[in-house]
Amino acid sequence: MSTTITAIGTALSNSGISIIRISGKDSLNIVNKIFKSSSRLEPNHIIYGKIVNNGIFMDNVLVSYFKAPHSYTGEDICEINCHGGNEITKEILEIVLENGAVLAEPGEFSKRAFLNGKMDLSQAEAVINLINAKTKTESRIAANNLEGNLSKRIRSLREELIELMAKIEVSVDYPEYDYDEVEPTSVVPLLENKAREIQHIVDTYEQGKIIKDGVNVAILGKPNVGKSSLLNTLANYEKAIVTDIPGTTRDIVEETINLGNFVLNISDTAGIRDTDDIIEKIGVEKSLKILEEMDLVLYLINGEDGISKEDFEILSKIQNKGLKYITVINKMDKTRKEALNGILEELKNKGINEPVLISVQENSGIEELKDKIINMFDTSDLDYSHELIITNQRHKDLLKKSIGYINEAIDEVNKGQPIDIVSIYIKKASKTLGEIIGADVTQDVISKIFEKFCLGK
């Protein structure tokens, strides 16, 4: 980290101020070459002056200075607050570059903060989550993790495993001393306990993901059952084309709405049927393919036409994938009572969830449908200011991997293996937990994480 980096830290648009950040050992030198003021720059101070380049006055600015190691990156940092015009901001950045700084890569300030021990990896990831947060809840969770809530838990879990390993190693490596050899079965309760605690954190991911990304929901069903009509009603405007011609929707139509305290990412799909029309066929294939990414499927049946073999085929596909789904019977305004009873009976016999009855045309049953979705995914009773919630897939995957190793350690005990074999898996579990906070990560992982940051952070 011998270079001094710079980037614009604010969004480039006309605004009150823009900030150009400079980090590295030459920060102060560079600024002193272009900044003229009646006062001297002191650490932790911000002073007023002007940027002058080759004798030309450029802008009135405020410059702050943070001396290493007491700064965001742990290096010397200067920040120039200039007027927030696109041109002047870019010009000052150019001048800083001409005077010896190099352009920072996305996330490089935070990467340096991590490498200099100013924050751990999960905290750095919380920074990007805070920047990208779309809801208040998401911001609170990111802020908690930035404060180190996740780090603290991971550290304490890891320390307990390391302590156990130390006890085992002492008893194995120094038998001449009077340490009792650790009996393999004696470590099982602690391991089981840790696996449970980690699983508890993993379980928060489902809610965390909903808070962060919303609920992905697909409206599926045969052609002409009213899928696009339902999308339009939920969205409150005519997003998708609706006609009485089966096969109207060809490609996936997406819309995002707020429901309860989360976001619904709705995909209206092409009605599923066997067709020779090549474009419609591709649409039908897409409808089935997107199931992979869905948290919920609304399966629509046209009550007027009744339920068919194809409906059951698709419903059983949804069930086999273990997806959450709601069966919806639409066009209740046109559905006769006996026909409805027949459909209800058939659904019951096939073990399919009890349907919600709606008529998009008459706007009936829609609120009931919404309530049902809210109840399925509601996170309002979540105490996110106290509870630890994870929203990063990387964290979830590593936590699950560490549970896997703990379970392997328990298996070795059950197989009657000696304690030093058991210890190998405990070590792997602790190493895996370490990757979450960046204690045991490769350069590749670090680069991948910081690439996702924006420029200037």
Ligand X SMILES: Nc1nc2c(ncn2[C@@H]2O[C@H](COP(=O)(O)OP(=O)(O)OP(=O)(O)O)[C@@H](O)[C@H]2O)c(=O)[nH]1
* Shortest reach from residue 137's CB to ligand X, in Å: 33
The residues that touch ligand X, with contacts defined as CB under 6 A, are: 221, 223-229, 242-244, 246-249, 270-271, 330-331, 333-334, 359-361
CB-count exposure of residue 390 (10 Å: 0-12, 13-18, 19+): buried
Select from Mg ion, ligand X, none the partner in contact with residue 133, using the beta carbon and a kind-dependent cut-off of 5 to 8 Å.
Answer: none
Q: Which is nearer to Mg ion, 37 or 248 (CB)?
A: 248
| Closest residue by beta carbon to ligand X | 271
Closest distance of CB 262 from Mg ion, Å = 25
Nearer residue to ligand X within complex by CB, 151 or 335: 335
360 binds, among ligand X, Mg ion, none (CB under 5 to 8 A by kind): ligand X
Nearer to Mg ion, 18 or 267 (CB): 267
State which residue, 228 or 335, has the beta carbon closest to Mg ion. 228
Q: Which residue, 172 or 252, is less far from ligand X as judged by CB? A: 252
368 binds, among ligand X, Mg ion, none (CB under 5 to 8 A by kind): none
Q: Which of 187, 200, 120, 153 is nearest to 403 (CA)?
A: 200
DSSP secondary structure letters along 103-115: EPPTTHHHHHHHH
Beta bridge partners of 218: 267, 297
**Minimal distance, residue 350 CB to ligand X, in Å:** 22
Q: How many CB atoms lie within 10 A of CB 188?
A: 15
**Rule CB under 5 A: which residues touch Mg ion?**
227-228, 248-249
Task: Take residue 157 and report the two structure tokens written for it.
Answer: 């879990």
CB of 155 to Mg ion, least distance (A): 52
Query: Which residue, 141, 131, 125, is CA-closest to 450?
Result: 125
CA-nearest of 331, 136, 381 to 225 is 331
Contact residues for 338 (Cβ-Cβ < 8 A; gap 6+): none
Q: Which is nearer to Mg ion, 139 or 361 (CB)?
A: 361
Least spacing, CB of residue 247 vs ligand X, in Å: 5
As measured in angstroms, the least distance from the Cβ of 356 to ligand X is: 13
> What is the rounded distance in angstroms from the CA atom of residue 390 to the CA atom of residue 370?
26
Answer whether 282's CB lies under 8 Å from 310's CB: no
Binding at 224: pick from ligand X, Mg ion, none (beta carbon under 5-8 Å per type): ligand X
247/297 Cα distance (integer angstroms)? 19
**Neighbour-count burial for 250-276, b at 16+ CB within 10 Å, e otherwise:** beebebebebbbbbbbbbbbbbbbebe
Nearest approach, Cβ of residue 333 and ligand X (Å)? 5
Q: Which residue is nearest to Mg ion (CB)?
A: 249
Cβ nearer to ligand X, comparing 29 with 233? 233
**Among Mg ion, ligand X, none, partner that 246 touches (CB below 5 to 8 angstroms by kind):** ligand X
